């Protein structure tokens, strides 16, 4: 059963977006498409165990899903025209599109329709095409799962009520969708680099897929900045957790194990992008990552430069997460008391109440100030909010260190 489950999981990762998009294209019903794709995955778990894994698992899933869609439409008597269209799925395959070198990237541009608000576009695309759960997407946007469910539902309703077509945009309309596609790839990588929950901090497959797709994007500065950012972060991936499964913070990572090839490629991409004179948030984040990646050791890190870059990033992205990261940099550049003042200001505003890195950051600053009792309490608060085992092990170790 293990081999079958692995085959189903791999097919889910590879084919989910294509199956769902195919059904949406003809039926125009996002919920129906997702439900039928889920039914096909459930059927695969049962039937592949009995009959063996098919030679083309993706084609099998597509066939089962579209047959379910036809059956559902027939039972619900939604109209002869739509039923006739759905029936054609049995013999149709999507036509290749020369402007897109990759099917999944084509689907992302298709899904990111500008009639929707940017956040709705990104969230709906993540849910529809990448297989991320609503809970994982909610965490990326720092909202509750219930809130994200409502947002995705409203987006689907708007598409249905406004009769927004699900089709590949012509080349001249691609730029208006690029920002949303960048956001999708950025959040897809983030979920791979720091998972929402579970035993593992890193989901390497998601990181690799985000980087692969980012390489295929048009070569405009922010797209290059995003790819640079992903490469510079991915270069450190192997050193982020120790053999015991405990998170290793940046300052303690073994820099000799960082991927020098990814660092070189990332910094070259960043330099080329910055020379074009159109800086944006991904280029700024890549510049911050480059400061870390090119420092000989932790003590050599240019924290004043990083703090300044975060100040610039806040102007592009006025987010409490960016402000928290700036507080860390200020705490390293100007001393822990300066960083703590910024963190306490964020807390006083009620920002990031469910975000474990707020109390974790506060705890670290308190520890550096020698205020061990307060630091231990803040580490405990962070521990209660952390959702992956490597993060929890790290925080538990910090609680022990500050109370011993």
Per-residue model confidence as pLDDT tens digits over 238-266: 999 888 888 899 999 999 999 999 999 99
pLDDT band, residue 26 (cuts 50/70/90): confident
- Say how far apart CA 357 and CA 41 lie, in whole Å: 36
pLDDT score for 99: 60
Comparing C-alpha atoms, which of 154, 163, 165 is closest to residue 127?
Answer: 154
pLDDT beyond 70 at 87: no
Task: Provide the H-helix boundaries in 52-90.
Answer: 57-76, 80-87
pLDDT beyond 70 at 96: no
Residue 41 within any structural domain of the chain: yes
Cβ pair 118, 180 in contact under 8 A: yes
Residue 48 within any structural domain of the chain: yes
φ, ψ of residue 356 to 5 degrees: the values are -65, -25
Residue 71 within any structural domain of the chain: yes
φ, ψ of residue 105 to 5 degrees: the values are -65, -40
- Say how far apart CA 275 and CA 294 lie, in whole Å: 19
pLDDT beyond 50 at 93: no
Residue 116's Cα: distance from chain center in Å?
A: 19
Q: What sign has the CA pseudo-torsion 72, 75, 76, 81?
A: positive
φ, ψ of residue 258 to 5 degrees: the values are -65, 150
φ, ψ of residue 254 to 5 degrees: the values are -80, 100
φ, ψ of residue 93 to 5 degrees: the values are -130, 145
**76: domain CATH number?**
1.10.1740
pLDDT score for 92: 46
The conformation of residue 204, written as its DSSP 8-state character, comes to: H
Token duo for residue 266: 């990332």
Domain around 17: 1-94
pLDDT beyond 70 at 1: no
φ, ψ of residue 247 to 5 degrees: the values are -60, 135
pLDDT score for 360: 97
Residue 345 within any structural domain of the chain: no
Of 3-17, 66-80, 182-196, 307-321, give the range with the top mean pLDDT. Answer: 307-321
Token duo for residue 141: 């946007």
Mean pLDDT (whole number) for 62-82? 76
pLDDT band, residue 80 (cuts 50/70/90): low
List of residues 6+ apart from 91 with CB closer than 8 A:
none
For 83-107, give the DSSP string: HHHHHGGGT--PPP-TT-SSHHHHH
Residue 404 within any structural domain of the chain: no
Residue 146 within any structural domain of the chain: no
- Say how far apart CA 162 and CA 29 lie, in whole Å: 13
Domain count, the chain: 1
Of 74-88, 171-185, 193-207, 274-288, give the range with the top mean pLDDT. Answer: 274-288
End-to-end CA distance of the chain: 47
What's the chain's average pLDDT?
89
Residue 125 within any structural domain of the chain: no
The Cα angle at residue 242 between residues 241 and 248, in degrees rounded to 5: 55
Q: Using one digit for the tens of pLDDT, what is the confidence trace for 329-377?
A: 999 999 999 999 999 999 999 989 999 999 999 999 999 999 999 999 9
Mean pLDDT (whole number) for 308-329? 97
Q: Average the pLDDT over each of 30-34, 118-122, 371-375, 400-404 and give the range with the smallest value.
A: 30-34
- Say how far apart CA 131 and CA 9 lie, in whole Å: 11
Q: Using one digit for the tens of pLDDT, what is the confidence trace for 125-162?
A: 998 888 788 999 999 998 999 999 999 999 988 988 88
Residue 328 within any structural domain of the chain: no
Q: Supply the pTM of this predicted model.
A: 0.86
């Amino acid at each position: 059963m293990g081999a079958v489950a692995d085959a189903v999981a791999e097919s889910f990762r590879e084919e989910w977006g294509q199956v769902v998009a195919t059904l949406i294209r003809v039926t125009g019903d996002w919920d129906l498409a997702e439900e039928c794709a889920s039914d096909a995955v459930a059927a695969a778990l049962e039937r592949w165990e009995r009959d063996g894994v098919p030679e083309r698992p993706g084609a099998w899933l597509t066939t089962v899903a579209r047959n379910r869609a036809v059956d559902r439409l027939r039972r619900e008597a939604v109209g002869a025209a739509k039923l006739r269209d759905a029936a054609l799925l049995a013999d149709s395959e999507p036509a290749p599109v020369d402007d897109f070198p990759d099917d999944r990237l084509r689907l992302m541009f298709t899904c990111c329709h500008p009639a929707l608000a940017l956040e709705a576009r990104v969230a709906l695309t993540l849910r529809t095409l990448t297989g991320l759960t609503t809970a994982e997407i909610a965490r990326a946007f720092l909202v509750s799962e219930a809130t994200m469910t409502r947002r995705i539902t409203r987006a689907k309703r708007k598409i249905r009520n406004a009769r927004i077509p699900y089709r590949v945009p012509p080349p001249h309309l691609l730029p208006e969708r690029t920002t949303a596609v960048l956001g999708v790839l950025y959040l897809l990588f983030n979920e791979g680099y720091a998972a929402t929950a579970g035993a593992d901090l890193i989901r390497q497959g998601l990181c690799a897929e985000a980087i692969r797709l980012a390489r295929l994007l048009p070569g405009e500065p922010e797209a290059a900045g995003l790819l640079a950012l992903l490469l510079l972060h991915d270069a450190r991936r192997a050193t982020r957790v120790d053999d015991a499964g405990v998170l290793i913070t940046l300052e303690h990572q073994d820099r000799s194990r960082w991927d020098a090839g990814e660092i070189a490629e990332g910094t070259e991409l960043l330099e080329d992008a910055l020379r074009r004179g159109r800086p944006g948030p991904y280029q700024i984040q890549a510049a911050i990552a480059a400061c870390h990646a090119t420092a000989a050791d932790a003590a050599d890190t240019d924290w004043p430069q990083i703090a300044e870059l975060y100040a610039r990033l806040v102007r592009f992205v006025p987010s409490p997460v960016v402000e928290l990261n700036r507080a860390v940099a200020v705490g390293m550049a100007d001393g822990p008391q300066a960083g703590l003042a910024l963190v306490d200001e964020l807390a006083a505003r009620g920002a990031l109440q469910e975000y474990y890195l707020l109390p974790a950051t506060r705890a670290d600053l308190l520890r550096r100030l020698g205020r061990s009792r307060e630091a231990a309490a803040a580490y405990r608060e962070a521990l209660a909010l952390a959702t992956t085992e490597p993060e929890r092990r790290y925080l538990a170790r910090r609680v022990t260190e500050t109370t011993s």
